[in-house]
Structure formats: C-alpha cells, structure tokens
Chains A and B, each alone.
Chain A
Amino acid sequence: MRDVAIIGVGLTEFGELWDKSFRELIAEAGSKAIFDSGIGASEIDALYIGCMSAGRFVGQAHVGALVADQAGFSHLHIPSIRVESADASGGLALRQGYLSVASGLNDIVVVGGIEKMTDVTGNAASDILATGLDQEWETFFGVTYPGIYAMIANRHMHDYGTTREQLAQVAVKNHANGSLNPYAQFKRPIDIKNVLNAPIVASPLGMLDCSPLSDGAAAVVLCALDKAKKYTDKPVKIIGSGQASDMLPLHGRENICTFEATVYAARSAYKQAGIQPKDIDVAEVHDCFTIAEILAVEDLGFVKKGDGGKAIENKITTLDGQIPVNTSGGLKAKGHPVGATGVSQIAEIVFQLRGQADKRQIKDAKVGLAHSIGGDGASCVVHVLEAMK
C-alpha cells in the first residue's frame, strides 16, 4: 500500500442553516477543500461522499451523481461514490477514499461529508437518526437514540461510579472549545448548572448532554504522498486507518459499557501507525452524547476502562490537558450533521497538525486521532494522522 496525504480541507459553518440547501452546502465545502489544496478539477480521479440519509432528510437519493454534478464535474465523468454507515458515514467515506489512493487505483480523490437535517421536523429527524439503531428489536419497542445512550450511562454509573456531574463536565468542556471554533453551531460556553437543569430527554441524559440536529458539510483532498509535495509544504499523512463492526442492537453485546467496534478499529489503526494511545497529541472523538465521549476515551485506550469519568473531572481531556479531546467542540458543540461529522473531525485534526487551529491550537501537536461511531456502536472508523516535516 502507498502512503497517502491530506493536502486540502474545507468546511461550511455547522448549524441550522435554513437558507442553504443540501446542494449548496456540499459544493461550498468541496470547493474550499479544492482551493486549499491547489489541485485542478481535471486532476481528480474520484469522489467519495459520506451521507447517512439524504433519502429521508431531503428526499434525495443518488447522492454520488448529484455531488459530481453540483461540483461542476459531470463533464469529467469521474466515479462518485456515496458511502453510508449511519453517523460514521463521513469517517467511512474517508477510509474508502484512502484505500483507493493507497491501493494505487487513484492518485487524487476528494472526500466529502454532508447532511441537511433541519428540512424535516425535530420528531422526523429523531426517527431518521434512530434508523441507525436496530429497527425491529430496539426502536419498535419505544427506545430512542438518546435512550440507548442513557442506558449505557446508567450502567456505567452503576459499574464504575461515574457521576452525573462528570457527564455534565463533558458538555461544559466541549462548549468551551466550541466557543473558540468559528465553524461551531454553539459558540456559547455553558456551566455545569445549565447542563444539570436542562429538560430530561432520557434519564440521566438531559438536553445539554445531547448533540444537536445540524446542517453542514466538510471535505478533504487526498493525494498519494509522493505527489503531495507538488501541492503543499504541509501535507498531513494518514498513518493509520481502522474499521470494525459489532452486533447491531446494544443488547446483543456481551458488555454494554464497551464499544468493541472502537477497541478493534483503534487496535488496527494503532498497529498500522506503529504507535500507542499515549503517542496521540490531540483527538476528535464521537461524543453524540456526553457518555459517548467517556466511553471513547476508555475504548481508545487513553485511560483504563471505567476511568472515563475521572478523566474529565481531572481535566485530562481539556485544551491544556494531557490528551486534549474534541478541540473543535465535538459533536456536542460544533454540531452533528451526521454524514459530515467524520470528515469534519479530519479537518479539525489537520488544522491542529498544521498549526492553524488559532485559539484552540494544541502546542506542538504532531499526531492526531479521529474516531467516528455509527449508531450505538455497531460500526466504528478510526484514523491516525501525522504532521509531515
């Protein structure tokens, strides 16, 4: 396999972008990434687009062809592939693009991620998101997406003594980070009382424990590393890529406080990169709910199982902590346009490794990790990136 570098990134602002359409969002992110990379349209070999459910959010399937057309590439007739793995769709699109360049099939590809979630009512959006769970054996019986994570939280509190306050601290940290990110949906810091007093969604999780419904898009340009120097002095190399799956319903798994898909995806990414969890300088993890970040820092090996609550309490994961997590604000504050999220995490890590993260910059960040979960942990994609000298 060849080495692959990221040579360009682009993002739209995330939020309730009522005056922007699905098409406008992906075109905006894509053209920003292409301008950032300096490539020409004729050099692009293929497009990979992460998108969870345009068919239901905006009534549009055939997303691959739509995006190629919208980008102005239809006359080039390049392959364009839509990739779906619930809210890990963006992470998986990156992996597919990466594999296509690493294999030698393509030299340059653009990977996009997109979701437009606010063209339907909140109730409808919740139903669509819940299709990432097990429709027949979970949601039919009345459990919701927050409800599933709430059940994980209750068991984590029972087994490891994790507290309600520790869950809330994840939201407080991520809002603080989001307030420093111009692309974030929520740029307002919150305090622990705001989280604890918010309306309950599914106990113990309240509204401020949940990531929002968002519109947004992100894109990155991948290039074979030996050709990357032609375009940039600061290529970011993909040194590890891992993917894993698990039982679709949470109840099907032996242990409901561990996402084995994360454990296995991380293991293969670390192995390929030849590194240990302690070598990671900055990480973007899938905090769709506050408990999910606690699970992620454990399952990625940053702390041992059960210590995720203490990690946030002891400020290990804050901007000035030992392993800063979700410097962008995470899904919680940056927003979670589900298909875009995995690609936007990569953009944040690239900003960090290039030294372009402004007020949220982690000093001397050399190695970064992005972690993307589908549904309640039935799929996971992990990437490890390294700054090139």
Chain B
Amino acid sequence: MADAAVPRFWRAIPQRYNLIANQCSTCKKVYFPPRESCPYCRRKSIGKMKNIKLSGRGEIVTFTIIHDAPEQFEGQAPYPMAIIKLDEGPKITAQIVDCDNNVKIGMKVQSTFRKIQEDGWVGALYYGYKFKPVK
C-alpha cells in the first residue's frame, strides 16, 4: 500500500483509534465498523443509528500464528492473528500481542493501541488496535 494517499487512512481513524461502533435503536444490534443503516431493520433504522464506544473487551473465537507474513509485517512474524467476539456483540479481526504467541480459543482479551504496519524504512507508520490477554 506504499502508493496509498493519506485520506484512505484518515477516514478510518475514529474506528481504528477509538473502536467506535454504532447501534440500531430499533433492534439494539451493534455494528463495527458503523453502518449507515441496520441491515435487518432497513428504513426503520434510518436516522436511528447511535454511535457507541466499545469497551474493547472480548473473547477469542479462533486464531492462527502467521509465519509467512506480508512485507509490511515481516519484522513482526511469527505473530498471532485472531477473530475476537467483543462483549457488545460484533466480531473483529486483530493481532494478539504480549502473549508469547500463546493463544487459545476462549481466551479473554482487551484492546490496546499499537503500531500496525510500516511502509519500509522511510514510509508512513499506520496505527490502530491490537488485543492483549486480560491478566
């Protein structure tokens, strides 16, 4: 993504930096990333989607240890990636850190703000959420 312009990342900052989701006031389902409308309540949800800040707490649904990593992540490999079910309902894909690559299904985790990837030595650094085990 070395040729990506800044706005591409600028747009995602509220979600990637602060875990902002939204909730349908009609059926109470929570969406991350936020949606324009609720796929189930459709037009009944328009104008009734409310932003909420997620707790960042959740549980690991599944995981893998990535050995063969993309160039922007090579310095981090091997590293664990997981799908996490957040306490508020949505699932999310993220890296697990501070765990010595010891990850299990069902493990409780908490979000943390970290550097995600870099465009080589001179390119941009990209930040966002990772998750660490709850001690």
| Contact call B64/A150, Cβ cutoff below 8 A | yes
Q: Does B14 contact A (CB under 8 A)?
A: no
Instruction: Give the contacting residue for A154; candidates B63, B69, B76, B129; CB below 8 A.
Output: B63
| Contact call B116/A141, Cβ cutoff below 8 A | yes
User: Which A residues lie within 8 Å of B33 (CB)?
Assistant: 136-137
A138 vs B129: C-alpha distance when bound (angstroms):
12
Interface segment, A36-44, A98-106, A197-205? A197-205
| Contact call A142/B69, Cβ cutoff below 8 A | yes
| Contact call A141/B81, Cβ cutoff below 8 A | yes
Q: Which residue of B lies closest to A140 (CB)?
A: B116
Contact of A143 with B66 at beta-carbon distance under 8 Å, contacts A138-B93, A251-B91 already known: yes
Q: How many residues of B contact A (CB 8 A)?
A: 31
Q: Mark B61-96, 1 if CB is under 8 A from A, else 0.
A: 111111111110100100101110000000111110
| Contact call B91/A126, Cβ cutoff below 8 A | no
Within the complex, what minimum Cβ distance (angstroms) separates A258 from chain B? 13
Contact of A152 with B62 at beta-carbon distance under 8 Å, contacts A251-B83, A251-B91 already known: yes
A146 vs B129: C-alpha distance when bound (angstroms):
22
Instruction: Give the contacting residue for A142; candidates B67, B91, B95, B105; CB below 8 A.
Output: B95
Interface of B is mostly: strand
Q: Mark A157-201, 1 if CB is under 8 A from B, else 0.
A: 010000000000000000000000000000000000000000111
Q: Which residue of B lies closest to A152 (CB)?
A: B62
User: Which B residues lie within 8 Å of A141 (CB)?
Assistant: 81, 93-95, 116, 128-130
A252 vs B123: C-alpha distance when bound (angstroms):
31
User: Which A residues lie within 8 Å of B76 (CB)?
Assistant: 142
Within the complex, what minimum Cβ distance (angstroms) separates A160 from chain B? 13
| Contact call B91/A252, Cβ cutoff below 8 A | yes
Can you add 20 more A-B contacts, CB < 8 Å, to A127-B70, A201-B68?
A126-B70, A136-B12, A138-B93, A139-B70, A140-B116, A140-B126, A141-B95, A142-B76, A143-B93, A147-B66, A151-B64, A153-B64, A155-B105, A158-B105, A202-B64, A203-B67, A251-B91, A251-B93, A256-B62, A256-B83
List residues of chain A with CB under 8 Å of any chain B CB: 123, 126-127, 130, 136-144, 146-147, 150-155, 158, 199-205, 249-252, 256
